[in-house]
Structure 1
Amino acid sequence: MTVDVAPASDPVTRSALRKASWRLLPLIGLGYATAYMDRVNISFASLQMNRDLHFSNTVYGFGAGLFFLSYAACEIPSNLLLYRFGARRWLARIMVTWGLIAMAMVFVRTPLQFYAARFFLGMAEAGFFPGVVFYLMQWFPPEQRGRAVSRFYIGFPLSSVFMGLVAGALLNLQGHLGLAGWQWLFIVEGLPAVILGILFFLLLPETPAQAKWLTPEERDAIMTRVPAPKDPSTHALAPAFKDSRVWLLGLFIFFTLASGYAYSFSAPAIVQKVTGLPITNVGYLIAAMSLVGAVAMLISAAIADRRRRPFSHVIPACIVIAAAFVVFGLATNPVVSLTSLLVIVVSNYSYQGPLWSIGSSFLAGRRGAAAVAAMNSIGILGGFLGPYWMGFARDLTGDYQHGLLAMAVPMLLAAGIMIYLSTRSRPA
């Protein structure tokens, strides 16, 4: 797919976009890092929590995945409420709410309480990611969006780096002040979302027109290249749901998230099983793998934006991930197994920026909000399937290899969808 927009070559536009990058993306990146951390930190907590609370792998996998059912159900309403109330207020509300619920995980004692906590956490976080993508669509022209998304999405791998570095220390607080290590993990890793939610409310400008740190010429430059969405009537939502590309990308995200979360919600246990390392060293190893993935993400997004051919980055990555799942599923050598996991992690991070530059180019205005939310709502259901499948497969077979081997199939289906879309996709 090509984008028929001239590069931002004039000095005023370059200055405006540079300021927007520095003022918005680090804060949003921290917000997304916190979101992913509070979503997935049960993967580390489970190493103690499942033992203390006598949770089976199936109970854990179902609870881990339940987050995504409520997330999917509330995604579109949340994103449309963001359009109504404004990104600053709504994103701040989302973050404070999910932070408090994430910290409340310390009170979980039974499977039902675990399910309820994960369900309400997904409801609270719903709309954050597509809301941020829609927000950035108002600041960055199409040829800049892949890089912009990757620069805030860098919080995705960096959250894994942070979790890997601190998880061991937090779990080692076992018994301190009468709390288990996994309870300390939820408290310490839930608090940043509340703090960042307040900072979002105080620091994020609602639109480029309200950014006091832009000169009048810079504000005009951004609004000329990326016109602010007008308030359309309700029927303007219809094109988002009628566009087959929205549904195909949603299905693509479903397959890739099923595979990705099948691994990530079991990653500490898998790596510990492969290496035999103590949990602190497992955390460091996962952090190192995620750091390599973060570098790959930035490089891939920059190249994709320059070449304006995002499909050529997404399709090969999916095929490589599928092959790595097969290798891990059949491997008997720990070095081969660990290498295949590294390939899965790095390849998964590398296509994220190009993927969302494809999705965010389809529609504008409220239709754009609905399109991004619809894609994410369809796709996020894969987040329920992946962890639940891994828990079930682990209880059934006694290992993780069979579960991950099966994940090659959805990744190949995802590659097929992208190949098809690449032959017919055009900007709307």
Structure 2
Amino acid sequence: MRSDTPALRAAVRRVMVRLIPFLFLMYVIAFLDRVNIGFAKEEFQAHAGISEAAYAFGAGLFFIGYALFEVPSNLIMTRVGARWWMCRIMVTWGLISAAMSLVNSESLFYLLRFLLGVAEAGFFPGVILYITYWVPHAYRARCNALFYFGIPLASVLGAPLSGALLELDGAAGFLGWQWMFAVEGLIACVVGVWAFFYLDNSPADARWLTQDQRTALQTALDAEAESKRGPHRLLASLVDRRVLYFCLIYFLIQCSVYGMTFYLPTQVSEAVGSEVGLLVGLVTAIPWTVALVVNIVVNTAADRLAQPKKRFVAAACVAAGSVGIAASAAFSDPLLAIAGLSVAAAGYIAVQPVFWTFPAAYLTGTAAAAGIGLINSLGNLGGFVAPVAKTWVESTFDSETAGLYLLALCGFAAAALFLTLTKTKDPTTPANDLDPTREKPQAEDPNPRTPRDLNPN
């Protein structure tokens, strides 16, 4: 049963007000620096001499470096603390992202995309792990959803910003895509330095919480950690079957998400009949604005469900996203295409905060650091596979829409895997009680009393 005291509720509210907005600001910048290459695609390819195949390979190469260093990065964060490590991650990736403005060959493009993945490795799983240090399970889907605002907000705010920077073409002798990479990379450096002074490593360090709030929060988190059934050791978490199952689900989700994201500006450009710029940036923001609203509504509702039932919410979200991406490929009418992309963005964004409640409910300690890092690293290989597979399928079938149908198929496969997840213990309920609404059987009295025992006279 959830120990939901006034002190705990007050502590969670203060955590959500102080930490979550800053974490999602960091994610806005991270995601923007990861996918802004989609806005510069045509101009970047033309001026840097990057072929279509090289672009697809380089766009995905980021995820190779990202995958290789995810687990080590997460383990280092548990040693040195979040404030140091988040600062390091943001400053190094910002510098490398800014260096993308210097690309003049395919080989340099490959190198910087790989190094960008290495630099950013550990950021996302580090934040997911960091949230488990501060937020009890009963509130976690909402907190994850607020953090995930970073993805749609990166496009709601970032799309017009990237489009506007592209229109600085020729200013001070620099091309528009050079301005975009340089400015957005330097923003990451500034926020990284800010993170060092703003973040606290744990509730024990949080002077902005009262002593009662710190105690209530830490007590709730410690009780949850003791109730988790997953592996507690590092190596055990890396070969655990359930963890590997989570990896597969997340891989399929990311195939759909990044396959759509990398090419969304191009799709919108074709739909509205305009070159990529401010107009396309503004229209591209529409699907992500829809995703902002759907994300928080779905995950607030999901927090009211026992953990096993959340798999139905997750399956419905990712299936809806796949219907949307398939519809965007099927419809030639611009309004219908944008509507389909809006459904796709909403479904693919809303599913991810729900997804992360499953590994967070299963893993604890060092195993959580390693397991969450592994899930994110192997899952994000979907960002490497999706652009390459999309290009190959479109070339093989000589169809510009075949790749989008492939992405939709990946989403439907993820939905099916969610439905086959076996029931796991809800950490907000007592042990061996999978359904908190079920009436608990009465324990048998080892010394039963007869009516005569109760009334000896």
| Structure 1: distance between partners of 2:393 and 2:212 | 58
CA distance in 2: counterparts of 1:57 and 1:390, whole angstroms:
12
| Structure 2 CA distance for aligned equivalents of residues 317 and 296 of structure 1 | 10
Listed as ranges, the matches of 1:275-286 within 5 Å are: 275-278=272-275, 279-286=277-284
Residue 269 of structure 2 is aligned to residue 272 of structure 1: yes
CA distance in 2, matches of 1:29, 1:301: 16
* Alignment match of 2:289 (pick from 291, 301, 304): 291
Q: Give 5+ residue unaligned stretches, structure 1.
A: none
Q: TM-score, normalised by structure 2?
A: 0.88
Tell me the C-alpha RMSD between the 2 structures: 1.9
Alpha carbons of 1:137 and 1:351: their partners in 2 closer, same or farther (altered >3 Å)? Answer: same
What are the within-5 Å matches in structure 2 for residues 1-400 of structure 1?
5-6=1-2, 8=4, 10-227=5-222, 236-278=233-275, 279-308=277-306, 309-393=309-393, 400=400
Q: What is the alpha-carbon distance in structure 2 between the residues aligned to residue 370 and residue 295 of structure 1?
A: 32
Q: Does structure 2 conserve the Cα–Cα contact (< 8 Å) formed by 1:297 and 1:352?
A: no
Partners of 1:29 and 1:155 within 8 A in 2: yes
TM-score, with normalisation over the residues of structure 1? 0.93
Kept after mapping to 2: 8 A contact 1:72/1:378: yes
1:346, distance to aligned residue in structure 2 (A): 1.3
Amino acid aligned to 1:211: A
Greater Cα offset, 329-338 or 49-58: 329-338
Q: Which amino acid aligns with 2:297?
A: I
8 A contact 1:164–1:286 mirrored in 2: yes
Aligned mates of 1:399, 1:53 — CA distance in 2: 27
Cα distance in 2 for residues equivalent to 1:113 and 1:64: 13
**Deviation, structure 1 residue 398:** 6.4
**Residue range with higher mean Cα deviation, 354-363 or 66-75:** 354-363
1:176, 1:84 → 2: CA distance?
45
Q: Which amino acid aligns with 2:161?
A: V
Letter matched to residue 155 of structure 1: G
What one-letter code is carried by the residue in structure 1 that aligns with 2:165?
A: L
Identify if the C-alpha distance between structure 1 residues 52 and 332 changes in structure 2 by more than 3 Å, giving closer, same or farther.
Answer: same
Q: Which secondary structure does the structure 2 equivalent of 1:346 belong to?
A: helix
Structure with higher Rg: it is 2
C-alpha spacing 1:427/1:375, structure 2 compared with 1 (3 Å): farther
The answer as to whether partners of 2:390 and 2:406 remain within 8 angstroms in 1 is no
Q: Secondary structure at the match of 1:206?
A: coil
Q: Distance in 2 between matches of 1:301 and 1:148?
A: 9
Are the aligned partners of 2:258 and 2:383 in contact in 1 as well (CA < 8 Å)? yes
More helix by share: 1
Q: Offset at 1:170?
A: 0.6
The alignment partner of 1:378 has SS state of helix
Using the TM superposition, give the Cα deviation of residue 7 of structure 1 relative to its aligned residue in structure 2, in angstroms.
Answer: 5.7
Deviation at 1:333, TM superposition (A): 3.3
**Secondary structure, counterpart of 2:361 in structure 1:** coil
- CA distance in 1: counterparts of 2:399 and 2:267, whole angstroms: 9
Decide whether the 8 Å contact of 1:92 with 1:197 is kept in 2.
yes
Bigger relative contact order (CA 8 A; separation at least 6): 1
| Matched-pair contact (CA < 8 Å) for 1:138–1:227 | no
- What is the CA-CA distance between 1:165 and the residue it aligns to? 1.6
Deviations 1:209-263 (A, max 9, x none): 0111111111101110012989xxx982133124322111110111111111111
Partner of residue 449, structure 2: none
Question: Is 1:416 the counterpart of 2:416 in the alignment?
Answer: yes
Provide the secondary structure at the position in 2 that maps to 1:360: helix
| Equivalence for 2:443 | none
Instruction: Work out the percentage of aligned pairs sharing the same amino acid.
Output: 36
Contact 2:66–2:377 under 8 Å retained in 1: yes
**Contact persistence 1:100–1:194 (CA under 8 A):** yes
Q: 1:126 to 1:86 in 2, by over 3 A?
A: same
Q: What is the CA–CA distance in structure 2 between the aligned matches of 1:170 and 1:427, rounded to whole Å?
A: 47
Is contact 2:299-2:350 (8 Å) kept?
A: yes
Q: Separation in 2 of the partners of 1:411 and 1:292?
A: 19
CA separation in 2, counterparts of 1:175 and 1:336? 36
Whether the aligned pair in 2 keeps the contact of 1:98 and 1:125 (CA below 8 Å) is yes
Q: CA contact under 8 A between 2:49 and 2:104: conserved in structure 1?
A: no
- Distance verdict in 2 for CA 1:258–1:101, change over 3 Å: same
The CA deviation at 1:395 is 5.5
Return the offset for 1:427.
5.2
How many residues in Structure 1 have an aligned counterpart in Structure 2?
419
238-247 or 395-404, which moves further after superposition?
Answer: 395-404
1:403 aligns with 2:403: yes
Do the aligned residues in 1 keep the contact of 2:252 with 2:414 (CA within 8 Å)? yes
**In the TM superposition, what is the alpha-carbon distance from 1:73 to its structure 2 partner?**
0.6
Q: Distance in 1 between matches of 2:187 and 2:210?
A: 32
